[in-house]
Amino acid sequence: MGAGFEAEADRLVTREGDEIVVDGSVLEGGGQILRTASVLAALWDLKLRIRCIRGKRTKPGLRPQHLKGLEFVRDFCGGTMTGLEVGSVEVAYDPSGQFRERVARADGSIFGATHMVDVKTAGSCTLLLQTALPCLVASLLLCRCCCPTSPDSKRQRKGSEVQDPTQVLVLRGGTDVPFAPLADYAIRVLCPALLARFGVKVSAKVNRRGFYPKGKGELEVRVSLCERVEAAAAASTSEPRAAVLKRFKTIVVCGGGKPKDWKGESWKPLATIAEKMAEAALKEYTDDSTAFEKEVSCDEKSLSPGLSIVLAAETNYNCVLGASGVMEPRTKNWKGQAKPLVGEIAAALRARAEADEHLQDQLLVLMAIIAGEYSFRCSKLTTHTLTSIELLNRMLAGLGVRFEAEEREEATTVKCSSRGLAPL
């Protein structure tokens, strides 16, 4: 990774008394550090201070999307948090053990209500989901451990059996915006991965598309646990089988605006063009059984016009690899805009990856939460993933969680050994 990376990583986490201090200006910075650090602090009851907060593409300080994510952690998990205002460059958080106490008594702030996060801009719903999802899963795991049986319990009963609750989350903001996974990526790639790897059932649906600049879309998410939640058997091996595509799906969505924005439905050829590009570029990974499918839709309820595409590749080793992006409809250069997305799928297949470059970092916190031995293979580690691994290893040092990354030619394998969250 180089001396420069190591020097930055050494600055990432320090300790001042009983407080963990995170430097928000190093490595990926911005939202990635805020999301991961605040969730780890809440779930492991770590007193936290994040300094020098900056955005990767914006001026220093908290943005509205960052703020809403931090407010969710505070409101859902409990504790006190200071520095919560747009532009703030420092946030302090003291969880005070409230999360576990709330779960133990089945508090209404955690169970029995629909949780709402409204960023009121085109801030990404899927990035907010990255903050909220580990908290929701942790609440269900701890709830199952303590199994409250009092009449006031929020857990549901059926006959004499206690049924696990379902957490419902509604996110309002941008469903299809640049620099973030799109909503259909979460539905087609993230949700299947969480079920297959962790036994965590996540279903999501878009109630309204939110494109830039107005946003105000809505993504509804439901989270529950399978009967058994544990680490899936590691699929990574030293000699993985050759990758073959079972199914390749192209999902194209346009949204709202005025009729003149989509005159002649000029966006419809995008799906066909992307599909043909994928057939040609991925030919070595197909056989006679490979199915190519496309899905095209338009959401007239969207407040801003927009156009997005998601590619989802289902492999013979039971993984779904994805890529997504927001298109610029006025250029009509569909091939030029879709080519990098097809290239991402090709790189993942070449490495026989089990997680594409957008999924990698979204798996890590759940690997830490749910006890087990984990492994996944990817083409290369993104800065997001490297930042999360460093945060996890340094913040949870001595708490039974350890991540390692092994690089080999075109593939990198991420391994994790975790004791998980201690039961109540």
pLDDT at 235: 47
pLDDT at 352: 94
CB of 275 within 8 A of CB of 294? yes
pLDDT at 54: 75
Could you read off the pLDDT of 280-317 as tens digits, one per residue? 999 999 999 999 999 998 898 999 989 999 999 999 99
- Geometric angle at alpha carbon 315, from 313 and 319, rounded to 5°: 85
Peptide bond into 213 cis (omega under 30): yes
- Geometric angle at alpha carbon 142, from 69 and 105, rounded to 5°: 90
Which two three-digit tokens encode residue 19? Answer: 């407080």
- Domain segments of the chain as ranges: 7-96, 100-148+164-226, 245-257+265-350, 355-424
List Cα–Cα distances, 240 to 245, 313, 410, in angstroms: 15, 18, 13
Could you read off the pLDDT of 145-195 as tens digits, one per residue? 875 444 344 444 444 344 678 999 999 999 999 999 999 999 999 999 999
100-148+164-226 and 245-257+265-350 share one fold? no
CB of 229 within 8 A of CB of 193? no
C-alpha span between 247 and 309 (Å, rounded) = 17
DSSP notation for 5-41:
HHHHHHHHEEEETTEEEEETTSTT-HHHHHHHHHHHH
pLDDT at 6: 81
C-alpha span between 310 and 326 (Å, rounded) = 9
Which two three-digit tokens encode residue 325? Answer: 């992006």
Compute how many other C-beta atoms are within 10 angstroms of the C-beta atom of residue 10.
13
Enumerate residue ranges in the chain where pLDDT < 70: 1-3, 55-58, 147-163, 231-240, 257-266, 331-332
C-alpha span between 243 and 377 (Å, rounded) = 13
> Which residues contact residue 295 at a Cβ distance below 8 angstroms, ignoring those fewer than 6 apart?
249, 250, 251, 252, 271
List Cα–Cα distances, 123 to 81, 177, 383, in angstroms: 21, 8, 21
CB of 362 within 8 A of CB of 223? no
C-alpha span between 184 and 170 (Å, rounded) = 15
SS3 content of the chain, % helix, strand, coil (to 5): 35, 30, 35
Q: Look up the pTM and report it.
A: 0.92
pLDDT at 265: 61
Q: Which of 303, 389, 367, 372 is nearest to 28 (CA)?
A: 389
pLDDT at 238: 46
The third-level CATH classification (topology) of the domain covering 7-96 is: UDP-n-acetylglucosamine1-carboxyvinyl-transferase; Chain (3.65.10)
The third-level CATH classification (topology) of the domain covering 100-148+164-226 is: UDP-n-acetylglucosamine1-carboxyvinyl-transferase; Chain (3.65.10)
The conformational region for residue 2 under phi > 0 = left, psi -120 to 50 = alpha, else beta, is left
The third-level CATH classification (topology) of the domain covering 245-257+265-350 is: Dihydrodipicolinate Reductase; domain 2 (3.30.360)
pLDDT at 330: 72
Strand 411-418 with 372-378, pairing:
antiparallel
Cα within 13 Å of Cα(285), Cβ side: 29
